[in-house]
Structure 1
Amino acid sequence: MSQKKIFNFFQSTEKSNSLVLVKGILNDLVSDVIIKNSSKKHETVNDKTLEKWKQNYPWLIVSTMHEKKTLKCKLCSEFKTSTIWAKDGTTNIQKSTLDRHNECDPHIEACKLSIKKLDMELAPENKLEKGKIDNADVYLMRTVYMVMKEELPLDKVNAILELQRINKADISYRNLSWTTITEIQNLIALILKEDLIQRLRSSEYFAMLIDETTDVSISKRLSICVRYIHNGIPYTDFLANIELSDGCAHTIVTALLTYFEKCEINTSKCVSLATDGASVMVGKKTGVGVQLVAKAAPFCVQTHCVAHRLNLSITDAIKDNDAMKKFNVKFGELFNFFSNSGNRTYTLRQMQTLLDEPELSIKAPYPVRWLGLKRAVETVHECYGSLLATLSSIGVNDTKAKGLYKYFSSYKTAILIGLMCDVHVELGKLCCTLQSEKLMFSDVPAIVESTVSMLNILKTNDGECFKIMKGNLRYEEDKVFYGNEELTNYSLNIDSQIETVRQNYLSNLIKNIKRRIPKHDSKLMLSLNEVLEPSIVRMASPESNETALQCLIDHYGNDKVIKSVSGNMISGYVETVKPVVKIIQSEQLLKEWPGVCGMMAGCYKNLSLPEFCQRIILKHKDQFPNIAKLAVIALCMQVTSVECERSFSTQNRIKSKYRASLGDVSLEALMRVSLFGPSVENFDSEQCARQWLTKRRRKKRLTAEYKPREPKRMKLTKC
């Protein structure tokens, strides 16, 4: 353009202002220079420059994504820092960007960790081979593990090591500090935890069992257990014990998602959530289950623990009957009467010995414990004669004993004790079955129906305990005696009154059990049962099978989304929507179904639901991939949260009032080993010893004998 203007200047026939033309030419030249410089500034860095940068910055990684080059940091990726260099990388390819990252705090911390790791690898004493680990190292790991497994205090480790030395064991460790023992303890728990997390990551789907409680230090705790499939077998394990700021649903969900994100476990694979049925868990609008489905696990199905529901059924049946309500209250008063006095308990034992009855202490009807009334009633039934004799002798000078004697010496109470023993025998069987780790959702209806049938029999027939109680009664004219004690309130129409109480109580109990634990608890679980139970599939009509398949397709065969909200009231809230891919392909599932029906009608016709699911997962996963996914989901479905209750019992045993300052990490480590740790014989102590010895140089120091420090000498100063 500038050349053209110069040419026109010399060729022009008209006289023009030369100054104006020169200014125009200069402006055009300057604009061309600016355009060329700006284009040079935005040119991409060539490969030669990148190679020079790699030499100056050894941690630099250059990758190409979507035809764009990105820069990443090798150290930050290895140690998982919070910078973008550790994740997606940066597209700002400039020398100044590298300098800024090289001086940032996360990168400096990653460099320190890398140097520390390199020093450990180069240390000659840390290059341990499997055959070079001493027996003393293995004995030490096994000793600490045994102390954890038996829930013993850590200060017992040195005493047990000393005992092993006295028994001529080849162990040189002695005088271990609390810090050293705690470090070994946490390492053992970490190895078990990493193995569990790895299994959860590799499992296609899993279930969560959660419950919250308060420990001895008045701290709110959340117990998390998981159920997953490994080699076709379902396992239930303890995952974590987290401290909560409060018991709100939002707090619980936030703690759950934060922990699973920290462990790098995909929460969208959660297909079942079992809770105790509290309103904060099962609330229809803002409960934990509703929030978890909306934010992280769209295919999750929430269930109310069947063992908790059974306990609620029993409690409701007692509340609905005035005679049974008074019966429960009096047993509580009886426990308090004997537990508060050693003299009364001693008198009871003397009577039991005298009357040749078993020496049993009076049990409390705990309202928070499943079937807490069962043990209390059974104890009184077995030592009823000595109980009446004790209350009679103490009641001469004690009004409370006199009142208890008046109630328990009643003919009606004696008969009710026999009746309640028979009822609780059947309820106890049901309760223990519902707490089984191997319980499947398909087993619950049959177990409940069996118990209901036995309760219906007890409405018209006397049970064993009822017959024993009546057999011990001696009738003389219009009086009734149990041993030498006369039973009061006996009349001709008392049996009809007792029969009325019996019918009302058992009818209410059966009604509450059916209402609390219905036969078809969940439509989705019913559909899984109708599709994967060979005996049901063979008996059902094709229309019924198609309806069950369609129900499963509607839930698992459609893409879903999860929504999360971040931010605050000051900066504003941002809603993030993330799609979740459907679990099964509906068209392929329908094509696979005829072949599966053929197997159920043939060689697999006698298998139960768990056995059939295991066969599909292990042998026919490639042939029927969608049916195999449903089989994994069926095995993961959890209907109880009893593992959380067991973890609370373990927590309260470990963190007692004598160990109330136990930290969160140590508490979780001890709970993990106590609950689901392998036996001492099966524990891999060599692996633990190898990892522990490669951490730092300590073996020589820990095997040395204890030498007390010399007392400090006072310095003499000149006057």
Structure 2
Amino acid sequence: MASLDEKKGIDVGQTYRNVNSCKEFLVSIAAVERKKIEHNLRDAKFCTIMSDGSTDVSVIENEIVYVHFALKGKIHCYFLGLIECEHANAEGIFDAIFKAVDFEDIPKSEMYNKIIAFAGDGASVNTGEINGVISHFRRNINSNILMIKCVSHRIELAFKDAMKSSTLYNKIFDMLGQLFKFYHNSPKQMAGLKSAAEACKKSLRHPTRVGGTRWVGHVLTALKNLLIGYKVFITHLEQVASVRSQSSAQSKAKFFLKLLKSKDVITFAHFLIDVLTVISSMSMALQKRGTCVYEVHRQLELTATNLRKLETRPGLELRKIMDCDEFHGVSFSQLTGDTSTSQMPKVISALIVCIQKRFSDIDAGIFKCTTVVQLDSWPSDYQEATEFGDEAVSAVLDYYHDNLAAQNIETSLVEIEWTQLKHLLCENHTVKEMDWIKINELYHSQCSNILAVFDLMLSLPAGTSECERGFSQMAIVKSKYRNRLHSTTMTLLMTVDLH
């Protein structure tokens, strides 16, 4: 800003060209953004607190806190703070969360009345019924507060559970990890791989790591890179293996070649890409900002359908390799294929069962009731919609009766307005083309109480993916060269960056 003023011919001197003035600007900008968040949250009737923990570059345990809420059908998701945890137990996390949720113009009691759920990962420190973070929420705020376990974490855990019994998957997973280290830790091998790519006239595909916070996505990327660069890897590994020496690189190259020339391994790798594409598609769809619980139902149905299709017929990638005795011009050394063929249906069946097990709570209670928010599922004709969603609305009304009453919602009118809203939408509009923002604009004055109930259901997020994105921003801001930044300063910087 000072440089811009100088270009305009204004002499700004050194007043604003120092660290202290920069901090003043930062505090002021962050305060304005915080006020905007507070203003929107004050108008909202319900919200969910989302949090996750991570250790930064200074080896300090931090809790990142977001708030998710709906206001007249529009979903908001805001960063509230990065708080240093004194203790990484449930009590310490709970205290850190409410340091971030402390607002100047929203009294604590009013804020407590808005909170309807807590979203975190599935760690026992969050989910423990006796001493978990959710138990502190229920004891100190409201016994009806729901625990929302992050959907993305569940998907990955379900996949991991299903693959435990697959020997081929474990072989491939270990091979990918070792192949990454083989090249990543050796400039000599990486240079040899580059030369092999030039000799084959192929683009260089670096092996990528498996594991990490998005390890399903990492495995998919690693498999794709391996198969696309298959010819290059084989060429280089054969060169390493042919050298007369007793080096560890030679023995590793022979080990990799044995696996990579096995038809079972390559066939199963193609099959895994088909499966992981389905799983990753669901995960990515539910990682979008502002994704709500009601959207999980549709994604679960689509995922189960696509997985069952892979049970009965081969997927796109598997069809490329099924009847082949070579891949990219490299002949297979093992041509049976029996092991991979027998494991594939077992893997699909196990994966479907594991997903159902991990998401069993989604098809019960309040979470099941949120399906009524999905406008695509509404009947097009009012005669068919007369009883549609009645049980769901009644269940939400009964469960959250005290929260609704605390927000001055006429609970006695909710079910009456629900019938009225269905009539207005079905008779005057194509419901599937509507959205909740537009519905609020048109009918908020007539159906304010039932629309507040729908705001409540829209205030239930699908998970904590936004927290993970916040940690990515934290790693950018607090690097090893800026490792002395305090959590208060980090909150200011991230508030400006994220909003």
> What TM-score, normalized to structure 1?
0.63
Shift, 1:264, TM fit: 4.6
Residue 225 of structure 1: aligned partner: 66
Deviation digits for residues 107-164 of structure 1 (CA, Å, limit 9, x no counterpart): xxxxxxxxxxxxxxxxxxxxxxxxxxxxxxxx34xxxxxxxxxxxxxxxxxxxx49x9
Task: Tell me which of 405, 410, 423 is aligned to 2:262.
Answer: 410
Which amino acid is the alignment partner of residue 193 of structure 2?
L
Shift, 1:601, TM fit: 2.9
Shift, 1:194, TM fit: 1.9
Distance 1:174 1:345 in 2: 52
Residue 455 of structure 1: aligned partner: 307
Task: Tell me which of 529, 536, 553 is aligned to 2:371.
Answer: 529
Residue 364 of structure 1: aligned partner: 209
1:243 aligns with 2:60: no
Distance 1:381 1:169 in 2: 57
Contact 2:267–2:322 under 8 Å retained in 1: yes
Which amino acid is the alignment partner of residue 617 of structure 1?
N
Distance 1:481 1:185, change over 3 A: closer
Distance 1:539 1:239, change over 3 A: farther
Deviation digits for residues 68-106 of structure 1 (CA, Å, limit 9, x no counterpart): xxxxxxxxxxxxxxxxxxxxxxxxxxxxxxxxxxxxxxx
Distance 1:306 1:282, change over 3 A: same
Task: Tell me which of 584, 589, 593 is aligned to 2:418.
Answer: 593
Distance 2:383 2:412 in 1: 24
1:234 aligns with 2:75: yes
Contact 1:347–1:390 under 8 Å retained in 2: yes
Contact 1:273–1:638 under 8 Å retained in 2: no
Distance 1:628 1:546, change over 3 A: closer
Distance 1:591 1:544, change over 3 A: closer
Distance 1:442 1:379, change over 3 A: same
Residue 496 of structure 1: aligned partner: 338
1:671 aligns with 2:494: yes
The 10-residue stretch of structure 1 (583-592 or 430-439) with the greater mean CA deviation from structure 2? 583-592
Shift, 1:182, TM fit: 2.5
1:385 aligns with 2:231: yes
1:625 aligns with 2:467: no
Distance 2:388 2:215 in 1: 38
Contact 1:260–1:267 under 8 Å retained in 2: no
1:196 aligns with 2:34: no
Distance 2:191 2:355 in 1: 40
Higher RCO (CA < 8 A, seq sep 6+): 2
Distance 1:587 1:181, change over 3 A: closer
Does the residue aligned with 1:525 lie in a helix, a strand or coil?
A: helix
Contact 2:192–2:236 under 8 Å retained in 1: yes
Distance 2:13 2:189 in 1: 49
The 10-residue stretch of structure 1 (631-640 or 584-593) with the greater mean CA deviation from structure 2? 584-593
Distance 1:583 1:465 in 2: 56
1:555 aligns with 2:399: yes
Shift, 1:582, TM fit: 7.0
Does the residue aligned with 1:440 lie in a helix, a strand or coil?
A: coil
Residue 374 of structure 1: aligned partner: 220
Deviation digits for residues 547-573 of structure 1 (CA, Å, limit 9, x no counterpart): 33431232122479xxxxxxxxxxxxx
The 10-residue stretch of structure 1 (583-592 or 230-239) with the greater mean CA deviation from structure 2? 583-592
Contact 1:535–1:606 under 8 Å retained in 2: no
RMSD after superposition: 2.7
Task: Tell me which of 430, 433, 455 is aligned to 2:285.
Answer: 433
Deviation digits for residues 231-274 of structure 1 (CA, Å, limit 9, x no counterpart): 54111111111010122111222232344345453122012321
Contact 1:445–1:519 under 8 Å retained in 2: no
Contact 2:307–2:352 under 8 Å retained in 1: yes
Distance 1:356 1:171, change over 3 A: farther
Distance 2:195 2:332 in 1: 22
Which amino acid is the alignment partner of residue 468 of structure 2?
E
Shift, 1:280, TM fit: 1.0
Distance 1:503 1:404 in 2: 26
The residue correspondences of 1:4-19 to structure 2 (distance < 5 A) are none
Deviation digits for residues 265-302 of structure 1 (CA, Å, limit 9, x no counterpart): 31220123211111111112222123213312455322
Task: Tell me which of 453, 456, 465 is aligned to 2:317.
Answer: 465
Residue 606 of structure 1: aligned partner: 431
Task: Tell me which of 117, 135, 138 is aligned to 1:293.
Answer: 138
Shift, 1:435, TM fit: 0.6
Does the residue aligned with 1:363 lie in a helix, a strand or coil?
A: coil
Distance 2:372 2:278 in 1: 29
Contact 1:361–1:379 under 8 Å retained in 2: yes
Distance 1:203 1:249 in 2: 27
Residue 175 of structure 2: aligned partner: 330
User: May I ask how many residue pairs the two structures share in their alignment?
Assistant: 484
Distance 1:326 1:174 in 2: 66
1:355 aligns with 2:200: yes
Shift, 1:650, TM fit: 1.0
Distance 2:374 2:193 in 1: 57
Residue 185 of structure 2: aligned partner: 340
Distance 1:642 1:539 in 2: 40
Shift, 1:214, TM fit: 0.9
Distance 2:497 2:215 in 1: 22
Task: Tell me which of 305, 314, 327 is aligned to 2:150.
Answer: 305
The 10-residue stretch of structure 1 (364-373 or 341-350) with the greater mean CA deviation from structure 2? 364-373
Deviation digits for residues 357-395 of structure 1 (CA, Å, limit 9, x no counterpart): 221211001243242211110100100011011111112
Task: Tell me which of 652, 659, 681 is aligned to 2:475.
Answer: 652
Distance 1:556 1:254 in 2: 25
Contact 1:357–1:382 under 8 Å retained in 2: no
Choose between structure 1 and 2: higher helix proportion.
2
Shift, 1:665, TM fit: 2.4
The residue correspondences of 1:207-218 to structure 2 (distance < 5 A) are 207-218=48-59
Distance 1:359 1:539 in 2: 61
Distance 1:248 1:519, change over 3 A: closer
The residue correspondences of 1:565-580 to structure 2 (distance < 5 A) are none
Distance 1:256 1:583, change over 3 A: farther
Residue 513 of structure 1: aligned partner: 355
Residue 419 of structure 1: aligned partner: 271
Task: Tell me which of 163, 182, 187 is aligned to 2:23.
Answer: 182
Distance 2:137 2:189 in 1: 53
Contact 1:388–1:405 under 8 Å retained in 2: yes
Residue 457 of structure 2: aligned partner: 634
Contact 1:339–1:345 under 8 Å retained in 2: yes
Distance 1:263 1:522 in 2: 38
Deviation digits for residues 299-347 of structure 1 (CA, Å, limit 9, x no counterpart): 5322111111111111112223122112111110111111000110111
Which amino acid is the alignment partner of residue 374 of structure 1?
L
Does the residue aligned with 2:153 lie in a helix, a strand or coil?
A: helix
Contact 2:67–2:77 under 8 Å retained in 1: yes
Unaligned runs of 5+ in 2: none
Distance 1:238 1:597, change over 3 A: same
Shift, 1:482, TM fit: 4.5
Distance 1:606 1:262, change over 3 A: closer
1:281 aligns with 2:106: no
Which amino acid is the alignment partner of residue 118 of structure 2?
L
> What TM-score, normalized to structure 2?
0.88
